Amino acid sequence: MRLVLDANEYIFALGFAKKESCESLFKLLIDNFPSHPISVCRTIVEEVRTNLIPKEFQNFIKFINIISTIDEDFSIPFEIGFKYEAIGLKEADALIAAYTEWVGADVLVTENRHFLKHNPVLPFKVLTSEKCLRII
């Protein structure tokens, strides 16, 4: 099952704010690597970066390069993004949704309720870390 993990999942799992389900999800994904491929785009990496000091960011990149490869945002077809804007997602959220579709991920894991409310019309599942833990 291919996953896209939204920036908020990394932030919670890194311990910036306490959320056990996010921590458990990352632990499970690392322990079972590479059973569940993870896709990550530049926007998500940049969002995590804003909270890391340079040395930490360097290690974060090393970590990401082991578990995945970073896809550049410009690779994501614009037309997929527009489709998501049209259903009411903000531009940056639309990009993440477009990215999730483009990489053919089964699940976008996020705690962001703006995604969760669009769940029924998306071609992939949108799950919180807690729900994701139940199905993998």
Partner 1 sequence: MKTKKAEAKKLWDELRENISKRPSPFAGMTEEEVIKQLRKTRKKLWEKKLAPRT
Return residues touching partner 1 (CB under 8 A). 7-8, 11-12, 14-17, 19, 26, 30-31, 33-34, 43, 46-47, 50-52, 55-56, 59-60, 62-63, 66-67, 73, 90-93, 95, 111-114
Cβ proximity to partner 1, 23 vs 106, nearer residue: 23
For the CB of residue 135, give the shortest distance to partner 1 in the complex, in Å: 21
Cβ proximity to partner 1, 50 vs 86, nearer residue: 50
CB atoms within 10 A of CB 6: 21
For the CB of residue 80, give the shortest distance to partner 1 in the complex, in Å: 16
For the CB of residue 19, give the shortest distance to partner 1 in the complex, in Å: 6
Q: Are 35 and 135 in contact (CB under 8 A)?
A: no
Where do runs of H (alpha helix) occur along the chain? 7-13, 20-31, 42-49, 54-67, 78-86, 91-102, 113-116, 129-135
For the CB of residue 101, give the shortest distance to partner 1 in the complex, in Å: 18
The number of C-alpha atoms within 13 Å of 31 and in the hemisphere containing its C-beta is 7
Cβ proximity to partner 1, 43 vs 101, nearer residue: 43
Cβ proximity to partner 1, 1 vs 91, nearer residue: 91
Q: In this structure, what token pair is assigned to residue 7?
A: 């920036």
Is 4 in a helix, a strand, or coil? strand
